[in-house]
């Protein structure tokens, strides 16, 4: 029988430490929607999504009320549209139409984001995939809930530099088209290396072709819970520190596992994975940077940050894998800037810059996330930053991602306001030296050697 101390601990985690289930994401395969006629394709997609996800939001809300645990987001990921639209879409405008259909379907079922306006072009782009990428600015500017992602590299294939060059321009164009909202469109576009097929977190979620017809993936969170747990072990040695993180990650993940199983059972959709990421929000006390400070740093970005983050990431995984047999997605600590008040404070204090963030991405679960840069940053510079980040992922066999927001009309010292879960961000300075000649080379970077590990 549960005792009062255990009950109080759980209640405190939820009411005071922001423990929540960040997202229930339903993955939906659109492979059976393929048609050579754009209108028929859109009709099929709308029908499939609104049928499969009809009860998603209702069931999510039911579980939330019965267990008393907030389930913040209900979302959908679909098969990369670059594949689905290949036969029907002969130009970028056709893909924009598909994006609008996805947006309508998302609104019809009441989810708050839908991911999968995506292309997987790790080695090369088909004409359709290139058209999809060229459609991204218009698609993101003319929809509310659609998220786009492009996987431009992997450890097995190398890096598609043609796609990276194109994406530098696409990011700027997206920023231009959404400049009234501080270039918000770019917050819905992620560039990946080694993207997982089962990621439930936005903006990078898509339903990979390795997946079944429908699946339920759940993303848990809980940086505030870890931070609070660590407050009780100040000054203790690393063993105690690690043990505390592991135990906390275990508890958090078990809640996610329970919610995932319940959602899967009630919806009659197979359970896929738990993504045990520490995902911060702009809310005070829901910050990964605050955990790093609790570990012993004055600010995130101080010397020791990469080591502390490596430790944190590893312990979260070690605690989480014991709690669920199916762990997947990105699983680790996210380090977005705008979505984490502690990170924003670190940037504003001058403790954290783009270069240190890049180093941190070598050991965190994703990459350069939600970073606002000056609106006059050159496309080739954006491509260069992406290429660097992709190289880290490729060589280290890990997922890396870039979500940069060149805020049109703003420069270093200004603030970008995105609102809600996306938060606000100080514009960060970017290295001004040119990489134009490097980026203008065509072709791809070959896959790395898997021996001689040094």
Partner 1 sequence: MKRNMKKVIITVVGKDTVGIIAKVCTYLAQNQINILDISQTIVGGYFNMMMVTDPSACPRETGEIADELDAMGQEMGLSIRVMGEDIFNAMHRI
Least distance in Å: CB of 268 to partner 1?
Answer: 15
Per CB under 8 A, 4 contacts partner 1: yes
C-alpha closest to that of 382 among 354, 352, 341: 354
Least distance in Å: CB of 280 to partner 1?
Answer: 21
Q: Is 438 left (phi over 0), alpha (psi -120 to 50) or beta?
A: alpha
For residue 253, CA distances in Å to 19, 129, 328, 391 come to 11, 36, 12, 31
CB-nearer residue toward partner 1: 130 or 262: 262
CB-nearer residue toward partner 1: 66 or 437: 66
Alpha-carbon distance 322 to 316, whole Å?
10
| Single residue of 34, 35, 50, 62 touching partner 1 by CB under 8 A | 62
Q: How many CB atoms lie within 10 A of CB 256?
A: 30
Alpha-carbon distance 166 to 229, whole Å?
45
DSSP 337: S
| Single residue of 215, 255, 269, 308 touching partner 1 by CB under 8 A | 255
Query: Which residues lie closer than 8 Å to 249 by C-beta, 6 or more apart?
Result: 226, 276, 315, 316, 317, 318, 319, 320, 323
| Single residue of 32, 37, 39, 68 touching partner 1 by CB under 8 A | 68
Q: Which stretch binds partner 1 (CB under 8 A): 66-74, 146-154, 196-204, 291-299?
A: 66-74
| Single residue of 257, 277, 281, 380 touching partner 1 by CB under 8 A | 257
Q: Which stretch binds partner 1 (CB under 8 A): 7-15, 130-138, 291-299, 375-383?
A: 7-15
DSSP 401: E
Q: Which stretch binds partner 1 (CB under 8 A): 2-10, 281-289, 372-380, 423-431?
A: 2-10
Judged by CB under 8 A, how many residues of this single chain contact partner 1?
Answer: 23
Per CB under 8 A, 123 contacts partner 1: no
CB-nearer residue toward partner 1: 3 or 454: 3
Per CB under 8 A, 258 contacts partner 1: yes
Q: What stretches of 272-340 show up as alpha helix (H) in DSSP?
A: 288-295, 305-323
Query: Which residues lie closer than 8 Å to 185 by C-beta, 6 or more apart?
Result: 137, 140, 141, 174, 175, 177, 178
3-state SS, residue 120: strand
Alpha-carbon distance 144 to 348, whole Å?
30
Phi, psi (5° rounding) for residue 117?
Answer: -75, 75
CB-nearer residue toward partner 1: 7 or 412: 7
Least distance in Å: CB of 64 to partner 1?
Answer: 9
Q: Which stretch binds partner 1 (CB under 8 A): 111-119, 196-204, 248-256, 427-435?
A: 248-256
Packed helices 238-267 and 56-67: angle between N→C axes, nearest 10 degrees: 130
Least distance in Å: CB of 10 to partner 1?
Answer: 6
Per CB under 8 A, 3 contacts partner 1: yes
> Is 268 buried (19+), middle (13-18) or exposed (0-12) by CB count in 10 A?
exposed
| Single residue of 2, 238, 420, 449 touching partner 1 by CB under 8 A | 2
Can you read off the two tokens belonging to residue 396? Answer: 């280290």
Least distance in Å: CB of 271 to partner 1?
Answer: 14
Q: Strand 71-78 vs strand 21-28: parallel, antiparallel, or unpaired?
A: parallel
Classify the C-alpha dihedral 356-362-364-365 as positive or negative: positive
Least distance in Å: CB of 320 to partner 1?
Answer: 13
| Single residue of 47, 65, 234, 441 touching partner 1 by CB under 8 A | 65
Least distance in Å: CB of 90 to partner 1?
Answer: 49
Q: Which stretch binds partner 1 (CB under 8 A): 59-67, 121-129, 308-316, 367-375?
A: 59-67
| Single residue of 69, 105, 161, 171 touching partner 1 by CB under 8 A | 69
Instruction: Report the interface residues with partner 1, using CB under 8 A.
Output: 1-4, 6-11, 14-15, 62, 65-69, 251, 254-255, 257-258
């Amino acid at each position: 029988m549960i005792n009062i101390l255990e009950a109080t601990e759980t209640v405190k985690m939820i009411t005071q430490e922001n423990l929540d289930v960040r997202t229930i994401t339903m993955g939906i395969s659109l492979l059976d929607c393929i048609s050579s006629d754009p209108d028929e394709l859109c009709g099929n997609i709308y029908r499939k999504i609104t049928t499969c996800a009809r009860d998603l939001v209702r069931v999510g809300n039911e579980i939330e009320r019965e267990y008393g645990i907030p389930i913040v987001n209900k979302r959908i990921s679909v098969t990369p549209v670059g594949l689905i639209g290949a036969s029907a879409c002969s130009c970028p405008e056709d893909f924009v139409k598909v994006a609008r259909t996805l947006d309508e379907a998302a609104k019809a079922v009441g989810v708050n984001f839908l991911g999968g306006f995506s292309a997987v072009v790790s080695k090369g782009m088909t004409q359709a995939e290139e058209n999809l990428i060229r459609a991204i600015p218009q698609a993101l500017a003319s929809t509310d809930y659609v998220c786009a992602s492009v996987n431009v590299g992997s450890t097995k294939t190398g890096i598609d530099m043609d796609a990276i060059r194109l994406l530098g321009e696409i990011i700027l164009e997206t920023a231009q088209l959404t400049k009234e909202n501080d270039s918000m469109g770019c917050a819905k576009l992620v560039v990946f290396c080694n993207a997982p097929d089962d990621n439930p977190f936005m903006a990078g979620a898509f339903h990979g072709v390795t997946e079944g017809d429908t699946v339920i993936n759940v993303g848990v969170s809980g940086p505030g819970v870890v931070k609070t747990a660590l407050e009780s072990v100040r000054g203790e040695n690393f063993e105690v520190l690690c043990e505390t993180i592991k135990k906390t990650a275990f508890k958090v993940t078990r809640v996610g596992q329970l919610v995932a199983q319940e959602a899967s059972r009630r919806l009659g959709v197979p359970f896929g994975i738990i993504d045990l990421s520490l995902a911060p929000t702009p809310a005070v006390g829901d910050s990964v940077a605050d955990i790093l400070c609790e570990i012993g740093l004055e600010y995130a970005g101080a010397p020791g940050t990469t080591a502390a983050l490596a430790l944190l990431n590893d312990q979260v995984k070690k605690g989480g894998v014991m709690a669920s047999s199916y762990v997947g997605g990105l699983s680790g600590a996210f380090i977005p800037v705008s979505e984490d008040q502690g990170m924003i404070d670190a940037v504003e204090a001058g403790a954290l810059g783009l270069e240190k963030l890049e180093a941190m991405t070598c050991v965190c679960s994703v990459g350069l996330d939600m970073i606002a840069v000056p609106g006059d940053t050159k496309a080739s510079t954006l491509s260069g930053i992406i290429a660097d980040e992709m190289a880290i992922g490729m060589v280290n066999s890990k997922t890396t991602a870039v979500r940069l927001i060149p805020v049109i009309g703003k420069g270093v010292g200004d603030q970008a306001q995105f609102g809600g879960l996306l938060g606000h961000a100080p514009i960060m300075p970017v290295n001004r030296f040119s990489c134009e000649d490097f980026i203008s080379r065509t072709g791809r970077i070959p896959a790395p050697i898997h021996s001689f590990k040094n």
